[in-house]
Amino acid sequence: MARDPEALTRIGVRTRRRKAASGAAISLGVIALALVIVPSVWIIAQVASKALPHMSWSVITTPGVGLGGGLENEIVGTLLITFGVALLAGFIGVMSGIYLSQFAHGRAASVLRGASEVLAGIPSIVVGYVGYVSLVVAFHWGFSLGAGLITLSVMVVPYIAKTTEVSLRQVPTSYVEGAEALGLNPGQILRTISLRTALPGIVTGLIVALAISVGETAPLLYTAGYSQSLPHVALTHSPLGYLTYAVWTFYNEPSAKAVQLSFDAAFLLIVLVLALITASRIIVARASRHREVA
Amino acid sequence: MKGKAALASDLARRTEEPQAPRVFRPTTKSPLGPVKIASTVSAVAPLLALLAILGILVHQALPAIKYNGLGFFVHNVWHPGNFYLQPVTTNGVLHPAQAEYGAWAIIAGTVLSSLIALVIALPASLGAALVISKLLGPRVRNALGVFLELLAGIPSVVFGLWGTLTIGPLLSRDIYPIVAKHMPDVIVLRWFRGSTGAGEGLLTSGIILAAMIIPIIASTSRDLFAQVPTLTEEGAEALGMTRMEVTTKVTVPWVSAGIIGATVLGLARALGETMAVAMVSGSVLGTLPTNIYSTFNTIAATIVTTLDSALIDGTGLAVRTLAEAALALMLVTLLANVGARLLVRKVSTTALPVGRGV
């Protein structure tokens, strides 16, 4: 260094340059974060600002008439479909998760797990197409609640199965062994120890799955069909409306009232989905606090 | 009461395999019977559904595959034929006269819009995930984690509504013309020149798709970055690396395979996304995009927008052709999905999210 007096300055310049590059990279990261946050806040704010000023009870309490009226038929339809999915996909998904976490081993388990993950990766419109040609056409069910909720269930069962399996796997082995030592039989252990401990996780997965099914459109268009009258409680031969259909159809109509309904439906969808996801977060937070105390 | 010998053998069995995975071994009288049967049936259901979907699609698509031939994937034409003429039989398939299908435009549209989405979403998600996991405090970090989950929950029709009525018109009025005017006439950038349209097209769809896949890539990479050992990063910093150098030379390479997996998963979602693209693509059939603002169509959007009109075709060829397109789309997305999962499973303990990745 003594032989090259300029070396120190050169190192200084390089360090300064490296630090500047680092600072620039960090600002780029912050810009990226803004890019992630801004669109979604924008979407929610815009839908709310278009929907809220005109929102009234009549939107929720009257069914659609032509391009006007309200959204009661769509709201009831969405709730009906979601309830059906909760029963059907909830049962199959939770049961499947129990099997994968408690009984499955070896090759069969990995095949079933893989099939479930692959099923979740199929594009929703492909599932909808198959639901249409099989349930609606080949089974002669027509556009109906049954066809819609089976198609939708196929899409969310893998998610429920996965969250149930993961929650059950996280039950501490010591709990199960303790119960075993106390002489409980496997059925009692599963019911009173494993399922009870895993319940917050299972319920969270179920709620998020319902949030997903509330927001789906493509699987329902050609299975549930559409109807402006209030849905009948019939599994077949009775098409019904749902909120995503209103968004998808009305925005493009040459009538201000129809576009308004489209935004109203979008707003209700966002509220429903965010409420469900927030509920799931609260359950997770409560469960983890409980665990810390215990 | 168990005999002493039985107890001893029980003990021996237990001590023999102390690390064996916990599985129940119910006796024949176990009250677990019905649960086990129901859960076994349920666990097989997804496999059966998968096989049924594949089987039905192949069965539906077979006549279309026979009629359209391999040219379906390289030609660009979409003529359902003349429904007023007598249907004709070719290769044993009954079809409307002059029917001709080639999916090249919608295949190209699917790939191009997803690639545009990836080019936007990848840097944004990685940057955001790095800032969230390495620069912010735990409270903000958790809040943003919840925010990403909420973002993933916004329905795709709502993204489409925003795209077609707000961001599309805005971009085509204020941004696209300026970009198109100043873009130099050189390779690749040439695509940004020319007519900018009304806001429905390739670039707008890519932007909307990017907004939709960012939560998947961002939240998965955030989990991955959290796995990088702090000691390794601190060691790098102690050697005099700047924040950026630690990130590019230690953090990102440590989990690079996982990031590739998350990216491919995001790509698979973009390829299969239907509603939002159907609302902002401009829905044209049989024409290739001429620049990045052109209206276009994807396989998924074509299925959802033309299935009802395809039902008019009395011979069923139009519906079966859509099955052929669906089959192609499904195989590509499944390949991407399975590849991503295998890659991530091999190198990391973080599993990729199942389903929509909320």
Specify if A124 maps to a domain: yes
Query: How many domains is chain A partitioned into structurally?
Result: 2
What CATH number should be reported for the domain holding residue B182? 1.10.3720.10
Q: What is the pLDDT of residue B355?
A: 56
Share of chain B above pLDDT 90, in %: 36
Place of tokens 């069923």: B316
Q: What is the pLDDT of residue B163?
A: 93
Q: What is the pLDDT of residue B89?
A: 85
Mean pLDDT over residues B337-341, rounded? 84
Mean pLDDT over residues B314-337, rounded? 90
- Tens digits of per-residue pLDDT, B65-75? 989 888 888 88
Q: What is the pLDDT of residue A263?
A: 93
- pLDDT of B225 over the 70 cut: yes
**Residue in chain B lying closest to A97 (CA):** B43
3-state secondary structure of A234: coil
Same domain for A224 and A122 = yes
- pLDDT of B120 over the 90 cut: yes
Same domain for A11 and A125 = no
- pLDDT of B186 over the 60 cut: yes
Specify if B81 maps to a domain: no
Residue B1 — pLDDT band, cuts 50, 70, 90? very low
Domain carrying residue B111: 102-347
Contact (CB<8Å) B155/A28:
no
Out of A38, A53, A68, a domain closes at A53
- pLDDT of B297 over the 90 cut: yes
Same domain for A185 and A88 = yes
Same domain for A259 and A236 = yes
How far apart (Å, rounded) are the C-alpha atoms in residues A217 and A291?
A: 38
Q: In a mutagenesis test of the A interface, which of B1, B11, B19, B39 is the best target, namely the one with the most A β-carbons within 10 Å? A: B39
Specify if B109 maps to a domain: yes
- Tens digits of per-residue pLDDT, B10-37? 555 555 545 555 565 544 455 667 888 8
Specify if B78 maps to a domain: no
Closest approach of chain B CAs to the CA of A189, in angstroms? 10
Specify if B208 maps to a domain: yes
Same domain for A156 and A42 = no
3-state secondary structure of A229: coil
**Residue A175 forms contact with B (CB below 8 Å):** no
Q: What is the pLDDT of residue B346?
A: 74
Q: How many CA atoms lie within 13 A of B213 on its CB side?
A: 31
For chain B, what is the HEC assignment?
CCCHHHHHHHHHHHHHCCCCCCCCCCCCCCCCHHHHHHHHHHHHHHHHHHHHHHHHHHHHHHHHHHHHCHHHHCCEEEECCECCCCCEEECCEEECECCEEEEHHHHHHHHHHHHHHHHHHHHHHHHHHHHHHHHCCHHHHHHHHHHHHHHHHCCHHHHHHHHHHHHHHHHHHHHHHHHHHHCCCCCCHHHHCCCCCCCCCHHHHHHHHHHHHHHHHHHHHHHHHHHCCHHHHHHHHHCCCCHHHHHHHHHHHHCHHHHHHHHHHHHHHHHHCCHHHHHHCCCCCCCCCCCCCCCCCCHHHHHHHHHHHHCCCCCCHHHHHHHHHHHHHHHHHHHHHHHHHHHHHHHCCCCCCCCCCC
Contact (CB<8Å) B244/A26:
yes
Same domain for A70 and A40 = no
Residue B125 — pLDDT band, cuts 50, 70, 90? very high
Facing B157 at nearest CB: one of A98, A186, A217: A217
Q: What is the pLDDT of residue B185?
A: 82
Same domain for A66 and A46 = no
Same domain for A89 and A38 = no
Over chain A (294 residues), the average pLDDT of each successive run of 10 is 68 85 89 88 92 84 80 92 95 94 86 90 93 93 93 94 92 91 88 90 91 92 88 85 92 87 94 91 80 49
Q: What is the pLDDT of residue B357?
A: 43
Per-chain mean pLDDT for chain B: 85
Specify if A2 maps to a domain: no
Same domain for A76 and A150 = yes
Contact (CB<8Å) A276/B160:
no
pTM for this prediction: 0.87
Specify if B272 maps to a domain: yes
Q: What is the pLDDT of residue B136?
A: 86
Specify if A188 maps to a domain: yes
Facing A32 at nearest CB: one of B52, B123, B274: B123
Contact (CB<8Å) B22/A161:
no
Beta bridge partners, A65, equal: A68
Pairing of strands B100-103, B93-95: unpaired
- Tens digits of per-residue pLDDT, B235-293? 999 998 888 889 889 999 888 888 888 898 899 899 999 999 999 998 888 788 888 89
Cα angle at B276 between B80 and B105, to 5 degrees? Answer: 40
Amino acid at B216: I
Q: What is the pLDDT of residue B14?
A: 52
Domain carrying residue A46: 7-53
**Residue A19 forms contact with B (CB below 8 Å):** yes
What CATH number should be reported for the domain holding residue A59? 1.10.3720.10
- Tens digits of per-residue pLDDT, A139-148? 999 999 999 9
Query: How many domains is chain B partitioned into structurally?
Result: 1
What residues 249-278 of chain A have any CB closer than 8 A to a CB of chain B?
A: 251, 259, 262-263, 266, 269-270, 273-274, 276-278
Place of tokens 């961001």: B167
Same domain for A118 and A146 = yes
Mean pLDDT over residues B146-169, rounded? 89
Specify if B53 maps to a domain: no
